[in-house]
Amino acid sequence: MKKQALSDRRKFILNMARGVGLATMGGFIWSAYVDEVTASSLMLRPPGALAENDFLKTCIKCGLCVEACPYDTLMLAKPGDNKPLGTPFFVPRDIPCYMCPDIPCVPVCPTGALDESSVTTDGVLDINVADMGLAVVDEESCIAFWGIQCDACYRACPILGEAITIEYQKNERTGKHAFMKPIVHSDACTGCGMCERACVTEKPAIFILPRENAMGRAGDYYIKGWDKEDEKRLENAKEIKTVTEISKDSAINSLNGSLEDLY
Amino acid sequence: MKKLWNSYRYLFMRRFTQIGLLVLYFGANAWGWTVLQGNLSSSLIFGIVPMSDPYAALQMLAAGAVLATDLLIGVGVVTAFYFLIGGRAFCSWVCPINMVTDFAAFVRELIGMNKLTGVKQPASRNLRYWILALSLVISAIMGVTAFEFISPISMVHRGIVFGMGFGWAAVVIIFLFDLFVLKNGWCGHVCPLGGFYSQLSKFSLIRVTHLEENCTLCMKCKVVCPENQVLYMIGKESLPVLSGECTNCARCIEVCDDDALEFSIRSMAQNKKTGE
């Protein structure tokens, strides 16, 4: 075959093909990396943060919240932290959120990734409605559950009596003492982490998890029948119909019909 | 001494602004200064005037985020500045990576790397526009700001202000890439933020202008220029450098011993050409 110079048209087509090919290749590598780094979900965000998916697309990673925080609670994820790069988070065992009443970290956010309206009640900033996470107690390692008297987390809680209460229970082992068990109430807990900071055990027996990770969901099929409010959720419930061999017949026919096999 | 100043005056001023801005940002986090808070992605001047990276905002838009008013004002401030005045001045006067790539280019020339690799560059300068487009596509598909998760610029700048982690590795990678793989590789070929500002600054006012009658064809300007395709007119025609890819770094002006290059305002430069 004779060696021929490439025609302009062929050159153009080849160049376009190469561009598209390389872009596809790079695109997949890039996407895979982004998917990997955004997968870490065990991060505690500043108060007022949007849901994690929206937060990741809205946060511009400027660190103004970090600079506004008077306690150096907030940090930006660094390369090597294995967290979505540059996004703000805090580690309550090191420095918890001290729940400033004026929430300086939220109004400075230029993008609304920290949403002022989510920490506002009746037009006034209200840190008590913040939802950074939820405290979880490990009953195995909490010494209060062993029967040793400790209420460090309860005392540390900024909304004590609401977010954490102490439940008294007779200690059958000794017969004359009481368990004083800390109970976290998910409707009041803001996830500030002061309990985790205060916990006396080597590795904290009470710790903050993102609410999404800490809680289950009953779904619409299980209703508190004695609660009028809860019963309303039935309206959302959709029917799931399973069709099998047996369900072709009505229930009674199906039960009677199978008797034939006995004889 | 006068000669020294004359040959490095803009370089000195650029390093002064680049490092000065870093110090201001650093001071804001470390000592609570309020002159310039935040980082290059988004910041506040004196706690009042917002500035935001328009390319980051574009990725947010592609990702489907709701853009807040503060952000839009900040984007407006930055966009107006570079669109009207500065051109790609961000790249050569603000961006901290510029110091790394300039140093790589300097070492490359010093050790004769350019002679080893030859004049022919194995990559097109249009690569950055492909990456720019790709970043928006990935942002849209993945629902995150794609470049912001890999950007060595924000990584390093954030690192200096808020703590480095392994961010220094990004500096090393870019330095080695520019030194051994591709001349002016990062800033001149790959960086989509530079590509974005190239597109934005097509009409900006401050431009370098060539005076052909003074030119002695020494070509020092073309050697030192990180985007030397924009200097196609050297020794041929008295024209302003109109390409948005020019970073207004002014190295060409300093190295020219014959006053054949100077800064001018766009319209005045054009008038000179038509003789008005």
Tell me: the pLDDT tens digits for A213-224?
899 988 888 888
Separation in Å, CA of B31 to nearest CA in chain A: 10
pTM metric for this prediction: 0.83
Is residue A125 within 8 A of residue A103, CB to CB? The reply is yes
Whole-angstrom distance, CA of residue B166 vs CA of residue B99: 19
B146 touches chain A (CB under 8 A): yes
Given a cut of 90, whether residue A32 has pLDDT beyond it is no
B217 touches chain A (CB under 8 A): no
Query: In the predicted model, what is the mean pLDDT of residues A130-158?
Result: 93
Tell me: the pLDDT tens digits for A85-118?
889 999 999 999 999 999 999 999 999 899 999 9
For A70, half-sphere exposure in the C-beta direction (CA atoms, 13 angstrom radius) is 7
Whole-angstrom distance, CA of residue A191 vs CA of residue A207: 9
Instruction: Name the residue facing A62 among B38, B138, B165 (closest C-beta).
Output: B38
Residue B211: which residues within 8 A CB-CB, separation 6 or more? B238, B259, B260, B261, B262
pLDDT at A196: 95
For chain A, what is the radius of gyration of the CA atoms?
A: 28
Tell me: the pLDDT tens digits for A222-261?
888 898 888 888 887 777 787 877 777 777 777 776 666 6
Instruction: Name the residue facing A66 among B159, B162, B169 (closest C-beta).
Output: B162
Burial of A103 (0-12, 13-18, 19+ CB in 10 A): buried
CB contact under 8 A, A112 and B164: no
Whole-angstrom distance, CA of residue B236 vs CA of residue B234: 5
Confidence of residue B267 (pLDDT cuts 50, 70, 90): low
The owner of tokens 């801005």 is B21
Give me A209's structure tokens. 């998890």
Q: Which residues of A touch B (CB under 8 A)?
A: 19, 22-23, 26-27, 30-31, 33-35, 37-38, 53-54, 56-58, 60-64, 66-67, 75-76, 78-81, 84-86, 108, 110-112
% of chain B with per-residue pLDDT over 90: 24
User: What residues of chain B lie within 8 A of the CB of A57, using their CB?
Assistant: 60, 63-65, 139, 143-145
Whole-angstrom distance, CA of residue A121 vs CA of residue A148: 39
User: What residues of chain B lie within 8 A of the CB of A19, using their CB?
Assistant: 130
User: What residues of chain B lie within 8 A of the CB of A61, using their CB?
Assistant: 39, 41, 148, 154, 158
Query: In the predicted model, what is the mean pLDDT of residues B103-108?
Result: 90
CB contact under 8 A, A23 and B133: yes
Instruction: Name the residue facing B38 among A23, A56, A63 (closest C-beta).
Output: A63
Is residue B79 within 8 A of residue B155, CB to CB? The reply is no
Is residue A170 within 8 A of residue A164, CB to CB? The reply is no
CB contact under 8 A, A60 and B148: yes
